[in-house]
Amino acid sequence: MAFELPALPYAFDALEPHIDARTMEIHHGKHHQAYVTNLNNAIAGTDAEKMSIEDICRTISKYPAAVRNNGGGHFNHSLFWTVMKPGAGGLPSGELGDAINAAFGSFDNFKQQFSNAGITRFGSGWSWLLVSGGKLVVSSTPNQDNPLMDIAEVKGTPVLGLDVWEHAYYLNYQNRRPDYVGAWWNLVNWEEVARRLKAVK
Ligand code: MN3
């Protein structure tokens, strides 16, 4: 079965003022849709058609660049939409909050490390909070790579991801990536991050 664009779990304008409606409309309806379409074209008639996007990512070194770029794009954006929510942000609580404090010393340390990973990523890419070898760590990947991929520098299961491609923020923030990253923390859906962390364990 072909991969499909997942519906956004909120309206295009729901994340304003932090992310504007026009950016969301183009990002979801054009960029993510293109990754899905191009992925389906790239795997047409191959065994990958029967695989999950996660399993494709885990064995990505066996595939051509079109699968790596578009399959990564599909997985990454599918995660990205769910880890944001209108009126969210604040501090993670419960087991997730404890795990972040244990791994990074404090929430502020984590936030700084994760933000820097995105701000200092040259060109396009992502910053991640992931479980790697049983530990919570921060990493960054170029382009549409992700930590599931067998070619990733830091491998593991991502529970939070931030898109720092210019298409994610340019209309509103132009060259001010740090402002976008700073505003994005007001949207983090910690319940979804906690759910993903629990699923890893
Ligand atoms: Mn994007």
- What is the model's pLDDT at position 201? 80
Residue 92 CA, ligand 1 centroid: distance in Å: 24
- What is the model's pLDDT at position 1? 64
Residue 168 CA, ligand 1 centroid: distance in Å: 5
Q: Pick the closest to residue 2 from 54, 27, 28, 38 (CA basis).
A: 38
Residue 102 CA, ligand 1 centroid: distance in Å: 30
Residue 105 CA, ligand 1 centroid: distance in Å: 30
Residue 59 CA, ligand 1 centroid: distance in Å: 22
Q: Pick the closest to residue 19 from 141, 193, 150, 181 (CA basis).
A: 181
Distance CA 27, CA 77 (A): 9
3-state helix, strand, coil in the chain (%, to 5): 55, 10, 35
Residue 77 CA, ligand 1 centroid: distance in Å: 6
pTM score, whole prediction: 0.97
Taking only the tens of pLDDT, the chain with its 201 residues reads 699 999 999 999 999 999 999 999 999 999 999 999 999 999 999 999 999 999 999 999 999 999 999 999 999 999 999 999 999 999 999 999 999 999 999 999 999 999 999 999 999 999 999 999 999 999 999 999 999 999 999 999 999 999 999 999 999 999 999 999 999 999 999 999 999 999 998
Residue 173 CA, ligand 1 centroid: distance in Å: 15
Distance CA 178, CA 72 (A): 24
Residue 148 CA, ligand 1 centroid: distance in Å: 17
**Alpha-carbon dihedral sign for residues 11, 13, 16, 22:** positive
